[in-house]
Amino acid sequence: MNPRPRTGQLMAQLIDVSVRRGGKQILDGISLTIDCGRVLALLGRSGAGKSTLLQVLTGDLAPSEGEIDSGGHDLKKGTVHQAPLLFPWLTVRENAGLGQTYAANRDVPDRLVDELLDLLGLTAMADSYAEQISGGQAQRVALARALAIAPDVLLLDEPFSALDPLTRTELQTWLRRQVTERGWTTVMVTHDIDEALVLADQIVLLGTGGRIANRWTNHPEQHDGPPGRSTRRAELRAEIQAAYHTADKEPAHV
């Protein structure tokens, strides 16, 4: 395994990646970098190709053209899917610790699973079976399981979609703090522009024809302040919303 690069350094990249499936162009000429210790958010309408892009990153799908430079990192281990995929006959703690079985070569402290369950508000149900918990709780267990193996990159496919708005906001704040304090590298698919603005350092919008319609640099910490004063966030939100409409009309390469 290569040494983990420093914050801001290149972790991995896609170079001019295209994907065709069943005669249809799903992704077209996608180039992007994943920077260490940073969050990249992928936005785009339903069917734009966001999940396909994650599959290319994890190596589950070979691109028709182009290259993936993983920098020697395992980009598959830290994946959290839309559906949590827990084993119903195992407890919350057992499900959360499951990834460690496959990561025996990683130096993961035993207490980490309990620490993550605590961080994610799951301690009270640690001994409940997965079939006994709610959808939102299951999503948090899946997140704990991915984090417990200390992945090089956390790949999140709409990980908060089943959460109630309050829990969702709490988890977004928590995740951003962890990224900042612990340097977690994250790629996240979301439909929620505000979620991208709260979490991401880099925001990429996939538009028509599987192309990148636009991309923005974002500074979530600079948005913090008294309510109503965060004008940069409001400006960016408006820019991104406008770009969705432009992307519907004209394919672009950015």
Ligand X SMILES: Nc1ncnc2c1ncn2[C@@H]1O[C@H](COP(=O)(O)OP(=O)(O)OP(=O)(O)O)[C@@H](O)[C@H]1O
Binding residues for ligand X, rule: CB under 6 A, are 21-22, 24, 26, 44, 46-52
> CA gyration radius for the chain?
18
| Distance in Å, CB of 229 to ligand X, minimum | 32
Which of 149, 162 has the CB closer to ligand X?
Answer: 162
Which of 94, 157 has the CB closer to ligand X?
Answer: 157
| Distance in Å, CB of 121 to ligand X, minimum | 27
| Residue environment code for 119-128, b if the CB has 16+ CB neighbours within 10 A, otherwise e | bbebeebbee
| Distance in Å, CB of 51 to ligand X, minimum | 3
User: Which stretches does DSSP call E strand in the chain?
Assistant: 10-21, 24-35, 39-44, 65-69, 78-80, 154-157, 186-189, 202-206, 212-217
Which of 13, 82 has the CB closer to ligand X?
Answer: 82
CA separation, residue 47 to residues 44, 156, 189, 236 (Å):
8, 17, 12, 23
| Distance in Å, CB of 31 to ligand X, minimum | 18
Which of 48, 120 has the CB closer to ligand X?
Answer: 48
